[in-house]
Amino acid sequence: MGMPVVTMTDNFLLVHGFSALIHLGFLLLVFISCLCKRISFKGPKQIPNNGVLFYRQTLLSCVVLVVLNLVMCFLNLIYWYRNGWSLENFVGFSDTVFRTLVWLFVSVYLHNHVSKSAESKYPFALRMWWFSSFLIFCFCLVLDCVFYKQVHSLSAQFLVLDVSSTIAGLFLCYVGFSVKNEGGAVSRFVYESLLDGSSSVTSDHRDSKRGGETITPSATSNIFSLLTFSWINPLISIGYKKRLDLEDVPQLDSLNSAQRSFSVLRNEIETDKRKSSEMNTLSLVKGVVLTTWKDIVVTGVLSFVSALASYVGPFLIDTLVKYLNGHRNLKEGFLLVSAFGAAKIVECLAQRHCDFKLQQAGINVRAALVAMIYHKGLTLSSQSKQGHSNGEIINFMAVDAERIGDFSKYMHNAWLVFVQVGLALAILYKYLGISSLATFVATIVVMLSNLPLGRLQEKFQEKLMKCKDKRMKTTSEILKNMRILKLYGWEMKFLSRINDIRNDEAHWLYKFTFTMAMTCVAFWVAPTFVAIATFGMCMLLGIPLDSGKVLSSLATFKNLQESVYNLPDTISMIVQTKVSLDRIASFLSLSELDSGLVEIVTRGSSDMSVEIVDGKFSWDVTSCNPTLSDVNLKVIHRMKVAVCGPVGSGKSSLLSCMLGEVPKLSGNVKLSGTKAYVGQSPWIQSGTIEQNILFGKEMDRERYEKVLEACDLKKDLEVLSFGDQTVIGERGINLSGGQKQRIQIARAVYQDADIYLFDDPFSAVDAITGNHLFKECMMGFLESKTVIYVTHQVEFLPAADLILVLKDGRITQAGEYGDIMKLGSDFLELVGAHKEALLEIDSVGHNLVTVNEIIEDETITGQNGNLVHTEEKKRQLVEEEERERGKVGSSAYWKYLTTAYGGALTPLVLLAQIMFESSQIGSNYWLAWASSTSESDEARVGGFEFIIVYVAFGIGCSFCILARSFLLMKAGYETANRLFYKMNLCIFRAPMSFFDANPSGRILNRVSTDQTALDLTIPYIIGPFAFVSIQLLGIILVMSLGAWPVFLVFFPVVGICIWLQQYYIPSARELARLVGVCKAPVIQHFSETISGSTTIRSFDQKHRFQDTCLKLIDDYSRPKFHVAGALDWLGLRLDMLSSFIFAFLLIFLVSVPEGIIDPSTAGLAVTYGLNLNMLQAWAIQKLCKLEIQFISVERIFQYSSIPSEPPLVIGSNRPDRFWPSQGKVDIHHLQVRYALHMPLVLRGITCTFHGGRKTGIVGRTGSGKSTLIQTLFRIVEPTSGEILIDGINISSIGLHDLRSRLSIIPQDPTMFNGTVRSNMDPLEDYTDDQIWEALDKCQIGDEVRNKEGKLDASVAENGENWSMGQRQLICLGRVLLKKSKILVLDEATASVDTATDNMIQKTLREHFSESTVIAIAHRITSVVKSDMVLVLNNGLVEDYDSPTALLEDTSSSFSQLVVEYSMRSKNSSHVTSYI
C-alpha cells in the first residue's frame, strides 16, 4: 500500500507546486512590468462603461478568492503548529499564500483602474490570466476529488477551495471573453448574482424606457431574481449614479395598485354592511384582512418556517459542545456545520421575503384605506361634515391609515410568540426535563404582567390621537386663514392656542412613552428572570447542568428574547392600530348624502328644468326650525331665475337643495339635464388656470376662447407672465377675488351643462366686469340654458324671467319684476334701498354723460403712458416642494442629539447600554465557565454560588436597562417638544410669501407625519441602532475569545457590508425623500377635495377626482414599495455575509485540533454567533433606516429656519400709545411685487389719504387695490418707496405695533372654529357688554341672542354654520369693538344685499366719523359719498380727487364707471317708475 500513497503524494505536490510556481511567476511578471512599464493594461477601445463588464460581480469574485485562500493559509498554519512540518503542508501553504497575493493584486487593480476607466473590455493580459487560472483550478479540483482525504489532512478544505475557485474562474472567463452585440450588452445572458442582477432586463431596455413608464420588474422577474431581490438592482444602480426622481421609479403592477386594493376593500365592506346593516370596527378589520388574505397566508407560512429554522441552532449547540469535548469525527463535524448553515440560510431567506411581503401588504392596505376615506369625504352629508373638520379627516389619512399600514410588519408577532415559546419549551424539556415548567410559568408571568401596561397604552394612545386631531384641525384652519390673522395681528394668539393644544398632547405623549419604557424594561429583564427561574429549579430538583445544556438553554433564551423583545412594540402597535381602526370605522359609518334627494330626469322628457313641490329642508335634521319650508317652484327650460332676499334668508340653501346638499324633510325635487354650480366662495384647485377651466373636459379651443371672452378673462391672462398656464396657488392665493370668481364662472360655462346655478356671482367683481358677465355670459353665452342666480344687486333683477324673494326660509314673493313691484312688501325693501343708493350718486354729480367705450386698452403702461418692460426671469409662484440633496449631514444628527439638555443625556444612555451588555456577557460567561464540561465532570463552583452570582448579574442588567429606557424616553420626548415649538414659531412668523408658495398640504405634512415620526419613531431608531452596534461589538468579542481568527474574516466582511450600505443608501435616501415629497400632494388633493366637495358633486366629477386620488396614492406607494424592496435587497446580502462569518467560525471550531480551544468557550462563541447575522443586519439596517427616517428631522429643521417676517416689536422705535392720532397716510413712489421673480403689481404710486377723511379705492379687477392694502399692513413689503402714517415710516416699526393700531374688514369674511365671543375678541381684551354693544351696532345682536348659548354659540370651522352675510357683519363687529383711527374696508360689503350695505355704510359713518377710512368697493354707491376717490389701473394712479370733481370731468375713469353703473341700474331696471 506504500507505493500508491507515494504516487498520490507526488501528484499532490506536482499540481499544487505547479500552481504555486505559476502564481509566483505572475507576481514576478507584474513586478518587472511595473518597473519596465512594458506591459499595458489598457483596453483597446475608449467608449463609455455602461455596466456590461459586470464590474461589481467581477470584483466580488476576486475578493471571495482572496478571502478563501487567506482562510486556507491560516488553517495550514494551525495544522502545521499542531502536527509539525511536512512537505505537503509547505507546498499547500505556499500555493495558498501566492494565490492570496495574486488575487489581492487583481482586486486592487480592478478597484483602482477598471472602475474609473471608460474601457469596453478588460485588459488582454488580465483576461489571459483568468483563463490560465481556470485551467489550474480545474486540475486541482480533479486531483483533490480523486485523492480526497488520502494525502493531506486538510483535503476537505482544499476541496471546498477548489470548487469555489473553479466556479469563480468560470465566471471570470465568461466575463473576459463574452461576445458583445451592437447595443453593448452581453448577448441575452441572464446573470443574477448576490450583489447584482437585472432579471433579464437588458441595459438596452432600461435605457429605452424611464422608470416612471415601466412596470416594476418584480412583476415579470424569474424565480432567482425574486429570490435574491435582484429585480431592484437597476433602480439601486441608477440611484448610485444620479439623484433619483419620481420618473426613475417604476410603476406598480395592477395587483399592487390602489385601484385594485380599494375595489376589493369597498366590495368587502359593502357586502358586510348588507348583512349587518351597520359599519363597525369588526367589519373594517374583516375587509382589510380579505383585501390582503393571500399575503397574510404566505407571510404566515414564511414566518413559521423562519421560526422553526431559528431554533435549529439552539437545539444543536449541546451536540456541538459534546463533539468538541469528545472524540472528533471530521465527517460528523462538517455535517453539524452543514445543518447550522442550512438552517441559517433558510431562516434568512424566509425572514427577508416575509418582511417584504408584509410591507407590500401594508402599502396595499394603506392605499385602500386612504382611498376609502377619500371616497367617504367626497360623499359625506352636511350634518356629518360639521362634526369632522378638514384637518381631522386629513389626520385619518395621514396618521391613522399610515399606522394601520405599518402594523402589517407586526401582524404575525402575536401568534408567533406562542410558536416560539412552544419550540423553546420543547428544547428546554429535552435538556432540562421538568425544569422547563419553570420556564413556562415565568414566561406566562412576564406576558400577564404586560396586560395592565397594554391597557394603559391603549388609553393614552386614544387621548394622544384626540389631541393630535384637535391640533391638526386648528392648524389646518389657521393655515387657510393665515393672511387674515396677520392682518388682524392675531397670529401669536393663535400660535399660543396651538401650543396649548400641544401641551395637552405632550402630556399624553409623555404618559404613552413612559408606559412604552416600562414595557421595554419588563421585556428586556424577562429573559434573565426566566433563566434564573429555570436554572434555580434545576438546582432545587438536582438536575445536573453541564456547559452544553447551559449554553443550549442560553441560546434558547436569547432566541426567545428576540421574539419577546418585539412583543412590547407589537402590543404598542396593536393598541395604536386598534385606536386607528376604531377612528376610521367611526368615520366610515357616518351618514352620506342621500342620492335620492334629487330626482334626475332625462333631458327632453319634460319642459321643466327644475321642479320643487312642497319642499321642506333643514341642514340639521334634528332641529325643529327647518332651513327652508313650503318651497314650491317650477322652472321651465331656458328661463333666467333671480333669487334675492336679505342676509340669512336662505338663498344659498335654496341652490343647495337643487344640488341635493340639504337633507330633505318632505317634498320632491326634480332636475332635468346636467347641472353646473358656482359657489359664493370661489373654490379654485391648485394647478394651471387652463386646468381649472377645463375641469377634466377635453380642450375645445374654439369654445375655450369664447368662454374666456364671455367671462372677461382675456385681458387678465395677457397680464399674467404665463397666461392660462400660470400655476394657481392654494385656494387661488395669487389671484384677486374677482379673478377667482370669473375663473370659476368660466369653469361652469365651459362644461356646457343644461342648468346653471350661480350663488352671488357678481359680489367679487367691479361694476363694469359685473355688467359684462351679466350681459355677455348669462344673457348671451348661456341664452339657451336654464340659469338660476342669487344676487344682492337689484340692477340684475329686471332681466330675469322669474324673481324669487326669500325671507326667513320661505319664498314670500315670486314673479316677474313688474308684477312683484306692484305687490310691494319685502321686495320693495330691497329696491327701496337700491334707490336710496342711487340718489346718493345723483346728489354727488348731475353732469353725467353716456360713454360708448369705457374699457381702455389694458397694455401695461407707466404713469406717464410709456410702456413698461419687465425682464424678470419667469417663474411660477407655486413651485415643486424643495427636498434636500445627498446624505443627511452629520450636523443634522448632532443638532438633534444636542437639542435636549445640550446632549447631556446621550452619553448616559450609551453608558447604560455598555454596562448592560457587559453585565449580560459577564453573566453568560459565568454560566459557561462555572458549569461542568460534561455530566461526568464536576462543576467548578457550588450550586448556590452558581445561582447567586447569576442573580447579581441579572439585578445589574435590570438597573442598567431601567436607566437606559427612561433616559432614552426623556431625551426623545424633550427633543420632539422643543423642535415642535421652534418649527411652529417659525411657521407662524413666516412672511405671507411662504404660505403663497407652499400649499397647506406641505405644511400639514410637516406638523403631522414628520412630527409624529419625531414623537414616536426617531428616538426608538437612534437608540436601538446604538444598542445593536454595542451588542454587535460584544458578540465579536465573545466569538474572538473562542476563535480569534474570526477577526481576520470579520473585518473584510464588515468592509463589504459598509460598501454595500454605501452602494444602497443613496437610492434608499432619495426614495425616502420621494415618499415625503409624494405624500404632500395626496394631503393637498385631499384637503382641496373636501373643501370643494359641493362643486365636485354638482359637476358629477366624483369619479374623476377619485381616479386622481388613486393615481396620487400610487405615486406615493411607488417609492414606498421600492424602499421596502431595496431594504430587503440589502438585508439578504448582509444576512448571507453574516452567515459566512458564522460558517467560518464553525469550520474553524470543528477543524481545529483538540485541546487548543476550551469547549465551553467555543460553545459560548457559537451561542452568540447564532445571532450574529441578525444583529449585523440589524445594525446596518438600523443605520439605513435611521438616515431614511431622519429625513423627517431634516424636513422639520428646514421649516425651523424659514426666513422670518420683520420683528413684531422694535423696542428702540415703538410709537406712542396714542399713535396714530391724526390718521394721515402718505404714500411715496410705492412699488410692490409679490416675489423677486414676479413682475411689479404696484408700479410707483404716490398719494395722500388725509386724516379723518374717507377715501374710496376703485379700479378694474386685478388693478392692485388689495395689494395696496396688504402693503399698508406690511403683508407684502415694499420693493421701493415708503408709506408714512402720521409721519412715521411703517417699515421702521414692529409689525405688531403697526397691525394692532389698524383695523380691517377683509374681502373674505372669516370666522374661526369656536364661539361668537372668541371670534369677536380672541385676545380677550373686552367685556361681554362691549361685545354686545358692537353686535347691536352692526345689526346682528338679535340673531346671536336667538342662538343657543348666545355669546357662547358655536361657530363651525370656517364659520360654515353662518351665512356669508352674517360672517361679514361679525367682521364689522370686530372693528366696531376695536375703534381704530384708521379703518380699511376691502370689498367689505360684497356678500350682503343693498339694504344691509346701506346699513353698514351708515354705521361706519356714525362710528368712524373722525377716523381715516380707506374703502375698496365694487359698488359705486359704497364709495360715491367718500371724501376722495382713488382710481387704480394696472398698479398706477389713474385718477385721485373728490367724487364731485371726478364726476364733473367726463373723461375721468371714475365718471365712466358711475355712468356705466347708472345706465345699468336706471335704464335697464326703470326702478323709479315703480316707487
DSSP secondary structure of 897-927: HTTTGGGTHHHHHHHHHHHHHHHHHHHHHHH
> What is residue 180's predicted lDDT score, i.e. its pLDDT?
43
Kindly state the DSSP code that residue 516 receives in the 8-state scheme. H
- Name the residue with higher pLDDT: 260 or 145: 260
Q: Mean of the pLDDT values across residues 984-1012? A: 84
Asked whether 1363 and 1396 are in contact (CB, 8 A), the reply is: no
For residue 1026, CA distances in Å to 901, 906, 953, 970, 1033 come to 19, 10, 22, 16, 11
Burial profile 909-935: b = 16 or more Cβ within 10 angstroms, e = fewer: bbebbbbbbbbbbbbbbbbbbbbbbee
Asked whether 1239 and 1397 are in contact (CB, 8 A), the reply is: no
- At 270-306, the pLDDT tens digits run 888 777 767 788 888 888 888 888 889 999 999 999 9
Q: How many CB atoms lie within 10 A of CB 499?
A: 16
- Name the residue with higher pLDDT: 362 or 600: 362
- How many angstroms separate the first and last alpha carbons of the chain? 139
Q: Is the pLDDT of residue 71 over 60?
A: yes
Residue closest to 159 by CA, chosen among 149, 169, 168, 167: 149
SS3 content of the chain, % helix, strand, coil (to 5): 65, 10, 25
Helix (H, G, I), strand (E, B) or coil at 613: strand
The CA-CA-CA angle for residues 425, 426, 429, to 5°, reads: 80
CA atoms of 1116 and 597, how far apart (whole Å): 37
Instruction: Report the range out of 166-170, 733-737, 1160-1164 with the highest average pLDDT.
Output: 166-170
> What is residue 354's predicted lDDT score, i.e. its pLDDT?
92
Q: What is the dihedral of CA 1262, 1264, 1265, 1267, to 10 degrees?
A: 120
pTM metric for this prediction: 0.65
SS (H, E, C) 686-723: CEEHHHHHHCCCCCCHHHHHHHHHHCCCHHHHHHCCCH
Q: Is the pLDDT of residue 417 over 50?
A: yes
Q: Mean of the pLDDT values across residues 1171-1178? A: 71
> What is residue 377's predicted lDDT score, i.e. its pLDDT?
85
What are phi and psi for residue 467, nearest 5 degrees? -65, -40
Place of cell 454587535: 1032
Asked whether 397 and 1082 are in contact (CB, 8 A), the reply is: yes
CA atoms of 14 and 647, how far apart (whole Å): 109
CA atoms of 632 and 984, how far apart (whole Å): 52
Q: Is the pLDDT of residue 193 over 70?
A: no
According to DSSP, the β-strands at 664-672 and 608-617 are antiparallel
Partner residues linked to 95 by β-bridges: none
Cell output for 111? 478597484
CA atoms of 527 and 558, how far apart (whole Å): 7
- Name the residue with higher pLDDT: 1103 or 1263: 1103
pLDDT bin (cut points 50, 70, 90) of residue 328 is low
- At 141-167, the pLDDT tens digits run 776 666 544 444 555 666 777 777 888
For residue 1070, CA distances in Å to 1003, 1185, 1187 come to 20, 12, 11
Burial profile 1289-1327: b = 16 or more Cβ within 10 angstroms, e = fewer: ebeebbbbbbbbbbbbbbbbbbbbbbebbbbbbbeeeee
Q: How far is CA 912 from the centre of its chain?
A: 35
pLDDT bin (cut points 50, 70, 90) of residue 1395 is low
CA atoms of 250 and 259, how far apart (whole Å): 17
- At 606-643, the pLDDT tens digits run 788 888 888 888 887 777 778 888 888 888 888 889 98
Phi-psi region of 378 (alpha: psi -120 to 50; beta: other; left: phi over 0): alpha
What are phi and psi for residue 643, nearest 5 degrees? -120, 125
pLDDT bin (cut points 50, 70, 90) of residue 254 is confident
- At 1061-1112, the pLDDT tens digits run 888 888 888 887 788 778 878 888 888 888 888 888 888 888 888 888 999 9
Q: Is the pLDDT of residue 1129 over 60?
A: yes
Kindly state the DSSP code that residue 44 receives in the 8-state scheme. S
Q: To which H or E segment does residue 476 belong?
A: helix 436-480
What are phi and psi for residue 606, nearest 5 degrees? -155, 155
Partner residues linked to 671 by β-bridges: 600, 610
Helix (H, G, I), strand (E, B) or coil at 510: helix
